Structure 1
Amino acid sequence: MDSNGSRPLERSFMIMQNSRDVPREQQAAKVTSVVMVPCLKNSSNFDTVPRPPSPPATSSNLVGGDVVLQTRVSVSSASTHGRQSHRDGDDNSGYDASDHTDESDGVDDDVDSGNIYCKEGKERSIDTDTLDPEETKEARRIFIVRILFSLLLISSTVGIACAVYFFIEAAEVREFENQYLSDADKLKESIGLALRSILSSADSWAINYIAVQNAGNTSFPFVALPNFAIQAAKFKMMARAYAIGVSFIVTDAQRRDWERFTAQEGPSFVEEAWKLQSQDDTFQGSLDQYPIIREELFTNFPELATVPDGSGPYLVWWQNYPIVYNSISAAYNFHLLSFPTFQKLYNATLTTKRPVLSGFNLVDPESDIGKVSVAYLENFVAESESASEPVTNLVYPILSQDLLDLSLEEETVESLDLVGTIAIGMFWRELLRDILPETSEGIQVVTEEICATKEPAIFTYEINGATTTYLGLGDLSDVAYNYLESSFSMVELMEGTTLSPGHRYTGIPLMETDCSIRMRIYPSSKTASSSYSSQSVAFTISSVLVFLFAGILFALYDLLVKKRQRKVAYIAARSSAIVADLFPKEVQTRLYEARDGLGKEKGKKHKNITWAVSPTSEKGSSSLDSVVSDERNADLSIADVYPSTTVMYAGIYGFARWSTNRDPKEVFDLLEALFGAFDEIANRQKIYKIENTGDTYVAACGVPRENIYHAVKMARFATDCRDRSVEILHNVNYASDIRTSKLFVRFGLASGPVAGGILRGQRARFQLFGLTTLNAELMERTGELGRIQATETTANLLCDAGKDTWVNKRPDAVVGGDDTPLDTFWVQAKSSDSISTLSVETSASKTFSLPVPKERIVTWFSDTLRDILTELQMSRQDSLTERALPSDETMLQLQRQIRSFVEAIGSLYSDLPFHNFENVFHGATTLSKILGQVTIEIPPVDRFSVMLAAMIREVDHPGIENDHLSKRGDAHPSGKSIIQLRAFELSLTILSDEKYDRLRSFLCPTAEDFSYFSQLIQSCVIATDVMNPIVSSARKRRWEQTFACPIQNEDLENPGKAERKKTKVVLEHLMIVAHLSYTMRSWNFYTDWSIRLYQEMVSSFIEGKIPSDPADSWFNREMMLFDNIVLPLLDTLRDAGPCKAIGAELMTRAMDNRDQWKTKGKGMVINMRFEFTGEKRVHFA
């Protein structure tokens, strides 16, 4: 409710109703707003709203279906506003909706929410009391059902997602536990097998000693195993031990005989072991000092003290491997029981006659005894292994048993005599390696030695596939997985409780001492992470997405139903937007009226419209095609004459040539970037765009709305577009290819009357016709790069508007379509943008195209030379040469040296217009192409040489020719080809620098190779002195001798030399093609570089370097170049076998350029002279 006590919607209808009885002048004062109101025909929703009476016949209210969009248009000061628009030169030439206060605003209505949304973004509320109470209840019930369904969907989604997640997670937990238990069983099985293998090997070793004793008819302890070292080394690797040793029991009565026996047998096995250890990769100790040998029994407390007589029996250290030098010990005859640690180790076996697995050597590596122990163990482990990890020893008894006994029972063991022991030292980690697959990670093994007399010794290993990692002392397992513990003792393994019957041990049973060893296996979080997958999360997300998709479908369906009432308005707005993009708003009104048969008067101004959509349109069949199709049947065409306009044509110079070899996407990227920028400027300045066709952009001012300042606005628009085009083409050229720097935009302006309208038919659009558009196109076509050319009419309009400084008369004449000379003007308006813009120089004193970046030229030469170098490497690899091929690292160094050399050469080029680095680059690209078309085989080194010559041929060029240098006294000692020889010598000096030694040695391994290499480069560079008659005649003579004369006898005798001579002659001629390649390309390319050369020579003339103005003879010079050099050269190549394809292809282009120069050359020379002298120039359209 408003302040008047009525609803806004009600008041709007009341205003309309009252306005029917008010005079038109008063209506203009009262009705000042634009309102579009949706009215539901025959609906009770708006029964409380007073319905307006039928409008007059002139208001064009049409009822075409269920929805009528009624439009009330402001007429206050309409005519005044129109007159004001003609005076405003900056604000009234556009076609924006914001500039049309006399047109209706669009409305997007929302019946369900009770809101009306206007274009300005304001929201007007509709009182919901006006709705039908029954429909209100139904809407409330639908809302409740929608809420209940949403809650059901959400609860179902959450419940099923949780069920899926927990079910899959439980399955993964079971899979993880089963996999772990399988790994634990495999680990127990493998440890048992490893321990059984070690015991079995020790048992076999003991049998060997008994067999030797029986075979030699000797008695223990006087037994020495033959070839002990090699057998011990293999046994050590099989048992995964780091050392093995045999000891015998010697009585007092046997002592003297034993010492004599060891003195005889000991040195030989020590020498054997010492030699073998030098080949044993597992031995890491020093072999610098030979072990000490003692013939008598000793103990090293004190150092090497002799064991006193009468203290037997003795347990004497005998054959062992590997043997380590020890300053306080000897290789053998050590009384083990004299050392407390060994006494504890061996006593259990001496007492029980059974194998004993000792405890672990868990010493502190920082303590004194720990340092000694670690230093000793470092002799047996690689540098990558740790010597401070737990170590254990297995002591196996040697019994005087019968060799026919496969296994020994406990009673049998007790009855046999113990004659010695076998000691095996090993790291505990060796029992855990190479067991599990790589997929098993994080398995933790806790080993503990439980003794009744001391604290338990506990340490932890982690197994990751085949490798083990020592975690440290103590139980370091992951407590979260202790419930999955799997444990066993060493004795249990040997007793077969965890092994299959086929794997049981048949030797002397392992004895469990008062200290038992037990192992516990656990998984860890790493094991779990490697076992768990993301399936639970994936399936949960999938189930959620299914329900989410169902929810979205429900919401979409609800949305579609909810917006059913607005479908017609949406279709109408969409069609209006399409039409607005193609036609001016003034034409749109007439299109719609023609669609409904209301176009009665040609050229009539229509201000008040009502847009009615038929039932057919509601179904979506209304479209632009139907509007235009029906329009074709109307009585009147939609066309008007616009008496005062300015039309602009903008065309991209060089676009056709540029786009020929470009990817379509690259072409469209360029057009979208350029014309999109023009569109932005047009929207900002309210210029009407007519069309863009191919590489042409057409716009107009004064169409479709009149604007007396159309020339001023169009001049400013063209200037802004010109400045923006330079920026865009600069960026696009550099981003795409180095050859795209020839793209510029030419602009043409013409003012006058035009006919504008819709040419009915397929894909109709608004178009302009008339002489003014033709003149604008002519101004663009005959203009210059980056400049705005305007007709005399446009120039006069600019001068009348006080813009005299914007206009500059063109000095030369432009020939029109009827051969009538036209006076035209260059326009340079003040840019409407405050930002700085790039400018374009188009005179012959400046370069037409943006320079190619030197860095990109360096990259091209480097890559090309690198590819040839790689091909050279491959050819050498395939040949039968003994020359060593370079490594990958050497090739990288060669590539870096190539780029460094190219950069050094590039730095020597000056910024001359013609003789510059870009010029040699263009020639080199031509050379690279034609080298692949020659039918003779050119070795990689020769191709590298000629490409190098193509790169250095213009180095340090002075800007004048050789004959002028000679006259100035700058002659070379050779007397000829001054510029070429100077370039060659300077470049060769750089290449001879020591920093390029590797490159030179690779290219030319011998002095003879380098001599040929440098001579070929020199010949190719000198060949480019095409104006030197001596050089030219010598070159022609060599060609005739090679291809026209019979084969010489010396060529038959030395075919390799003949091939080199032929290759050299061909490369010289191809080098000239590269040097003059600009004459064999397109006409535009040729003229561009010809002007550059002219510019360079004119500069030398002005500076006094040459005596005469080149313009005096430039036309004849170019004709002479074609007739005496270029065409004869190509004719020679075309007639020769190796170069037929090249000569024929290039001849066509060169002939075309020669013919065009003959026709247009004189006029071009006049224009080029004008750039320096100001003489009248002639324009050829």
Structure 2
Amino acid sequence: MTFHDEDDDMNTKSMETGELSVSHASTGSSSFARSETRRVTRSKYIVAGVIFVAAVLVGSLTFVFARNQEEDDFETQFGEYAVEIVDIINQEANSALAAANSLSVAITTFALSSSAVWPDVTVPDFELRGFHNNILSKSLQVSLAPLVRADQKQEWEIYAQQNEEWIDEGLAVAMERELTDNTEEKSDSIEDFLWRFAEGDSGTSVVQNSEGTNLGGVNYFAPIWQQSPAPHDTQIVNYDILSHPILQRLFSTMWNSVQPVFSEATDLSFIYEGAIEDDSEHPHTYVLHPVFGSFVDNNGSYKSEDIVASLITVLPFDQLLLDMIPEGVNGIDIVMENTCNQHFTYSINGPVATFVGYGDHHDPDYDYMGFAVEFGDHSISAHTEESCNYMIHVYPTSIFEEEYHSNKPVVYTVVVVSVFVFTALVFLLYDYFVLLRQRKVMEAARRTNKIVTALFPANVRDRILKDAEEQDEGDRQHKRGFGFGAKAQLKDFVQDDNVLENGNSAFDSKPIADLFPDATVMFADIVGFTAWSSVREPTQVFSLLETVYHAFDEIARSRRVFKVETVGDCYVAVAGLPEARKDHAVVMARFARDCLHRMNDLTKKLELTLGPDTGDLSMRIGLHSGPVTAGVLRGDKSRFQLFGDTVNTASKIESSGSRNRIHLSTETASLLEAAGKGHWLKKREDVIRTKVKGDMQTYWLEVKAPSIAPTGSSASDGQTEESISPTEAKRMEQEKAAKKEEKAKSKADMDEDKLRRLVDWNSDVLARLLRQIVAHRNATKRLKGTVSSSTPAKLEIKSGGTVIDEVKEIIELPEYDPLAAQYQEDPQSIDLGEAAQKQLRDYVMLVATFYRDNPFHNFEHASHVTMSVVKLLSRIIAPDVNSKNANNHDHAATLHDHTYGITSDPLTQFACVFAALIHDTDHSGVPNAQLVKEGAEVAKIYDGKSVAEQNSVDIAWDLLMHKNYTDLRHLICETDEEMRHFRELVVNSVMATDIVDKELKALRNARWEKAFAEENQVDSRENNNRKATIVIEHLIQASDIAHTMQHWHIYRKWNERLFHEMYDAWRNGRSEKDPSEFWYNGEIGFFDFYIIPLAKKLKECGVFGVSSDEYLNYAQKNRAEWEAQGHQVVEKLVEKYTAEYANHQVRLDDIQDADNVPLRSRMFRSDTLSDDEGFLAEVEKQIDDEDGDLSEKSQEDLVARASSRLTRGASKEKL
């Protein structure tokens, strides 16, 4: 009899929560408070106004002071630079005059010492003398022009012709100094006559036939004679400078003043043209310096008649203004002004002087800062109306000023204002906190009340708060007592500590505890949780518990059931307290039913994310009613707890129950019957035995729940086979026999449901890895600038060969690309496409159908291996890497190196998981040796080597290569190279599961010695690839027998299935030995010689982190447990399966009932069919009869694979 929800229409009400109340203040107090508030508010505004005004005034003064300081620095620094500039310019000008004067004195000295008569004077080494003059004076050239009287003209022309060799000598000296690249001598001889320009200074040269220029009553010519640097164009020699108006004016001024004369800024470049490279458009001044025929005494002075020649020096202002100020000082303008009404401007930036242009171009905004001084020493140069006297004007620019303007005034102002603002904020915050103090206290009280409400019932909470209030009041009164000073406080504190140390209670109030005479307690335990959690990640374990317990909490709130606590996977709840209610047993029964249903729903949904066997988890619930003592056991982390015999009995009722059932005590059953719910109850046929109460009669609460059949071992946490009494076992067998037909159909439905869930989970795992492959590939293509290939990848498999021939000693993994890792997008954002995802699920479903319905080597085993591979891949780590301190890219690179490239290649990880999925495809349920012994066609095809493994690879690969899976293949492998790499990984991984073949074992051992032997530790790419190959093979080997290195219940479950499979083979005549004869010792040897050594190798690989220790520990524990219990386990297995055969429950007998067995259980039992044609006909018939679970493409593939399987043995060449 079952019960439904027709009695659920009971009135419910929410638990009341206590609220702290505050009494209303009197009217007078309110008025006083409002008045005080207004005064305080006014005071706040006054303080705020004062702070604001002070901030504005002080900030403004700070800004003005800082800005003025910068202006003072600017003006002071400019003044210093201006003085320095004019001093340097005047020094350069005086140096030029002094150098010319020295050369003039040297010429006079030579003439006197050689008794030479002017104008017939040729100064020896004039090139060198002039060179040093030019360096000292920064002039471009110096020329000597002697005065020739009109009556000496013809004589001079002859003299010049006879003494022109000075030009060649000068050119030779210049060439030696590398002053010129011209190695040729002068092109022509000098003119044999004095000459002038026909028109001005740019016409053709003509003979100077005039009478000369009158100087002091005598007519003179002043031909250019010697020059340094020597002229390349000799035509300039004998040019009469007095024929040029500017030079004539300057010469006359010099004659009259008997002092050097400066010209205006003009272009007389024809004098030195060819000998000097210069920009003649920039300002130049020409200085005429007198040369005297003799020296005067100290008291005498020169007269005009003493002048016998003139020196003409060319001074470029570009050279004079260089190196005025140091590097880094920029933006100073120099304006040169002369008495000839000329202005020209230079900009000084560090040591460089840049000509701006003729005219005054300085910024008039800085006129007030202009600095002016005369150019040169007036005492040594002529200053007449005819001469051009220069003035130097120095001005700053905005560029120079900006160097002294900064954001410091603003910063200082902001800092000062910020101090005031901060002060104001401190006052405001202080006031704010004072105003909110009471609100915060009340809010804290409300939050505390909420937390206490969640942990304790309302009445318990109220008592806790009341006791705390009384304690605080007592403390306050004690502190107000006489003599409460610093010493008294210290004394009380020490005494309180002593009380605690002496073990006396620190709680003076009465303990918080009550007796509730009528309550129902529920214990709900997750069956199989410990074994399930042992193969999961911690995050997965907590994900399950949080999801399930949250759902239970919601049901508890709606049913007004009080949740007491959760201990591990046990959920404890109670009804009837803290609020007493008469229907506590009915409410708890409904709550237990809801939890049972909700648990079954959640586990099915969570299996997609948490992996295989999650859907097999279920609840075992026990209920007992009676008096309960409940209260708060005070101390650290106090909690509301239940005590008493009722709680202990409820725990015992739960532990002696069965999975997916609700177990009731007699007391609870009586209450339900009294409430008119007797039709919910079913009396348990046997009794449970307890040490204290002896035999107890119990009941089952009949619940119409979703059909859940236990898979594998029925043992669960805390319940072993011994917990089920013989009477209960007999009843279960009778019920099973009575409902055989119904359960056969139900089992078939459950098998198909479980198949779909396993297919969904495997598809989801592969899809996640596919997204990583696509993300990695996209990043690589983006860096290389390549595009996706539309041509499907191909792989030519050698004709006539077998899979085992493709096993590689070393598989080469891709090199690590840090840029690709850096720019890789989030794999979760990758869209695989609807077509590819559908093909992936169809492929996984098709692979599942190719697994035979063996007890061990079946699709569930493949999913278990897949889950272990995924877990080991997720546990791969790199030691000594602090991921918090190292960036992600450094961590990824270190991880790549340490794991030999496995973690950085998604295709390798996908291949490992893919190999785990297909590694036992079409396994016949007997070892390879038996197939060889039977002479099976498949054994002949593969020459009796690794028959099952090679068969699995061929079937799975042929399926993947089918045209229906083009999109899927393109996602896995886009290029032929990727396809080759993928094939190598799959072949090596699947072939590694053959641990019996001696040749493969020898190859693996030799490879291990090469890679991990201490003397062979060579850090090379080849050795790293060898290590990677070993790690991949050990990964799938460990996963293939992972049940031996997991929790004892997991090991027992799969150990029994393997025994069942081998026992079937023996009973069907496909094995010579009864497995029970060697099972115990065989497992011991298997642990000692394979499992434990393999677990140690996992640890020696050094890449699996804590998983290697976990696997080794479980292997050693299971070995010890098997040694202790193995004999009893084998006896029970023999008893169980002997009884099944005696009752005609053998699996082969079930095959005859074809209408109730799913397609995947009937397709590949070729050993039960008489011929191949009958097998193919059976396959096609069953596809026609199928209920539409498989798509048309999958059905076509089934027929194609079945046909291929029938013909593969015909000839080896057809493979």
TM-score normalised by L of structure 1: 0.50
Q: Tell me, yes or no, if structure 1 residue 584 matches structure 2 residue 478.
A: no
Inter-partner Cα distance in structure 2 for 1:1058 and 1:551: 73
| Letter matched to residue 187 of structure 1 | Y
Inter-partner Cα distance in structure 1 for 2:199 and 2:1053: 101
* Aligned residue number for residue 92 of structure 1: 12
* Aligned residue number for residue 810 of structure 1: 710
Residues 13-53 of structure 1, C-alpha deviations (whole Å, 9 max, x = no match) = xxxxxxxxxxxxxxxxxxxxxxxxxxxxxxxxxxxxxxxxx
Q: 1:1029 to 1:319 in 2, by over 3 A?
A: farther
Contact 1:354 1:510 in 2 (8 A): no
Contact 2:289 2:311 in 1 (8 A): yes
Shift of 1:728: 11
Q: Tell me, yes or no, if structure 1 residue 310 matches structure 2 residue 208.
A: yes
Structure 2 unpaired stretches of 5+: 148-155, 210-220, 480-499, 682-700, 733-753, 780-813, 827-831, 833-839, 845-861, 882-892, 922-927, 932-936, 955-971, 979-986, 1063-1068, 1102-1106, 1152-1215
Residues 246-296 of structure 1, C-alpha deviations (whole Å, 9 max, x = no match) = 5554778476468653355437636864778xxxxxxxxxx9x99996765
Q: 1:1019 to 1:949 in 2, by over 3 A?
A: farther
Inter-partner Cα distance in structure 1 for 2:21 and 2:291: 111
| Letter matched to residue 642 of structure 1 | A
Q: Tell me, yes or no, if structure 1 residue 529 matches structure 2 residue 430.
A: no
* Aligned residue number for residue 634 of structure 2: 761
* Aligned residue number for residue 373 of structure 1: none
Inter-partner Cα distance in structure 1 for 2:169 and 2:145: 19
Stretch of structure 1 that moved more, 538-547 or 645-654 = 645-654
* Aligned residue number for residue 539 of structure 1: 416
Q: 1:344 to 1:671 in 2, by over 3 A?
A: farther
| Letter matched to residue 106 of structure 1 | E
* Aligned residue number for residue 419 of structure 1: 311
* Aligned residue number for residue 65 of structure 2: 171
Shift of 1:165: 1.4
Shift of 1:173: 2.3
Inter-partner Cα distance in structure 1 for 2:615 and 2:99: 95
Residues 561-593 of structure 1, C-alpha deviations (whole Å, 9 max, x = no match) = xx6xx9997887566445323212244356678
| Letter matched to residue 723 of structure 2 | T
Shift of 1:898: 10
Inter-partner Cα distance in structure 2 for 1:198 and 1:1153: 102
Shift of 1:417: 5.2
Inter-partner Cα distance in structure 1 for 2:553 and 2:198: 102
SS in structure 2 of the partner of residue 532 of structure 1: helix
Residues 955-993 of structure 1, C-alpha deviations (whole Å, 9 max, x = no match) = 8968479999995757999x9x999999xxxxxxx99x9
Contact 1:354 1:397 in 2 (8 A): yes
Contact 1:568 1:618 in 2 (8 A): no
User: What is the percentage of aligned positions where both structures have the same residue?
Assistant: 13
SS in structure 2 of the partner of residue 1076 of structure 1: helix
Contact 2:260 2:380 in 1 (8 A): no
Shift of 1:549: 2.5
Alignment of 1:587-736 (within 5 A): 587-589=460-462, 595=467, 615-616=473-474, 629=507, 632-633=510-511, 637-639=514-516, 641-643=518-520, 688-691=562-565, 704=578, 708=586
Q: Mark the structure with the bigger radius of gyration.
A: 2
Contact 2:339 2:388 in 1 (8 A): no
* Aligned residue number for residue 152 of structure 1: 46
Alignment of 1:545-944 (within 5 A): 545-550=422-427, 552-553=429-430, 576-589=449-462, 595=467, 615-616=473-474, 629=507, 632-633=510-511, 637-639=514-516, 641-643=518-520, 688-691=562-565, 704=578, 708=586, 748=619, 750=621, 752-753=623-624, 755=628, 757-762=630-635, 763-768=637-642, 791=662, 804=704, 806=706, 808-810=708-710, 813-814=714-715, 817=719, 819-821=722-724, 853=769, 895=818, 919=869, 922=872
Inter-partner Cα distance in structure 2 for 1:1075 and 1:652: 30
Inter-partner Cα distance in structure 2 for 1:416 and 1:694: 123
* Aligned residue number for residue 69 of structure 1: none
| Letter matched to residue 406 of structure 2 | S
Alignment of 1:350-369 (within 5 A): none
| Letter matched to residue 445 of structure 1 | I
TM-score normalised by L of structure 2: 0.49
Inter-partner Cα distance in structure 1 for 2:234 and 2:507: 116
Contact 1:245 1:422 in 2 (8 A): yes
* Aligned residue number for residue 106 of structure 1: 19
Contact 1:245 1:319 in 2 (8 A): yes
Inter-partner Cα distance in structure 2 for 1:357 and 1:654: 110
Higher helix share: 2
Q: 1:530 to 1:346 in 2, by over 3 A?
A: farther
Inter-partner Cα distance in structure 2 for 1:769 and 1:629: 21
Q: 1:339 to 1:86 in 2, by over 3 A?
A: farther
Indicate the RMSD between aligned Cα atoms, in angstroms. Answer: 8.4
Shift of 1:184: 0.9
| Letter matched to residue 421 of structure 1 | T
Residues 67-104 of structure 1, C-alpha deviations (whole Å, 9 max, x = no match) = xxxxxxxxxxxxxxxxxx996669838xxxxx25xx58
Q: Tell me, yes or no, if structure 1 residue 1076 matches structure 2 residue 1034.
A: yes
Contact 2:520 2:574 in 1 (8 A): no
Contact 1:260 1:295 in 2 (8 A): no
Inter-partner Cα distance in structure 1 for 2:543 and 2:245: 91
* Aligned residue number for residue 45 of structure 1: none
Shift of 1:528: 2.4
| Letter matched to residue 633 of structure 2 | R
* Aligned residue number for residue 445 of structure 1: 332
Residues 367-397 of structure 1, C-alpha deviations (whole Å, 9 max, x = no match) = xx9xxxxxx9xx99xxxxxx99x95546566
* Aligned residue number for residue 1047 of structure 1: none
Contact 2:515 2:630 in 1 (8 A): yes
Contact 1:647 1:700 in 2 (8 A): no
Structure 1 unpaired stretches of 5+: 1-84, 94-98, 113-129, 277-286, 322-328, 362-368, 370-375, 381-386, 438-442, 497-505, 597-610, 734-739, 825-838, 864-890, 932-939, 983-989, 997-1017, 1045-1055, 1102-1106, 1137-1141, 1177-1181
* Aligned residue number for residue 900 of structure 2: 947
The count of aligned residue pairs is 855
SS in structure 1 of the partner of residue 370 of structure 2: strand
Inter-partner Cα distance in structure 2 for 1:678 and 1:403: 128
Equivalent of 2:394, from 506, 519, 533?
Answer: 519
Q: 1:108 to 1:745 in 2, by over 3 A?
A: farther
Residues 199-219 of structure 1, C-alpha deviations (whole Å, 9 max, x = no match) = 577568758967997799895
* Aligned residue number for residue 131 of structure 1: 27
| Letter matched to residue 261 of structure 1 | W
Residues 1002-1044 of structure 1, C-alpha deviations (whole Å, 9 max, x = no match) = xxxxxxxxxxxxxxxx999999986552465578789999999
Inter-partner Cα distance in structure 1 for 2:1111 and 2:80: 79
Contact 2:989 2:1032 in 1 (8 A): no
Inter-partner Cα distance in structure 1 for 2:374 and 2:12: 105
Inter-partner Cα distance in structure 2 for 1:394 and 1:649: 109
Inter-partner Cα distance in structure 1 for 2:1015 and 2:248: 87
Contact 1:250 1:258 in 2 (8 A): no
Inter-partner Cα distance in structure 1 for 2:1111 and 2:367: 84
Shift of 1:160: 2.5
Q: 1:1072 to 1:550 in 2, by over 3 A?
A: closer
Stretch of structure 1 that moved more, 220-229 or 1061-1070 = 1061-1070
| Letter matched to residue 12 of structure 2 | N
SS in structure 1 of the partner of residue 311 of structure 2: strand
SS in structure 1 of the partner of residue 43 of structure 2: helix
| Letter matched to residue 639 of structure 2 | R
Shift of 1:158: 2.3
Contact 1:248 1:421 in 2 (8 A): no
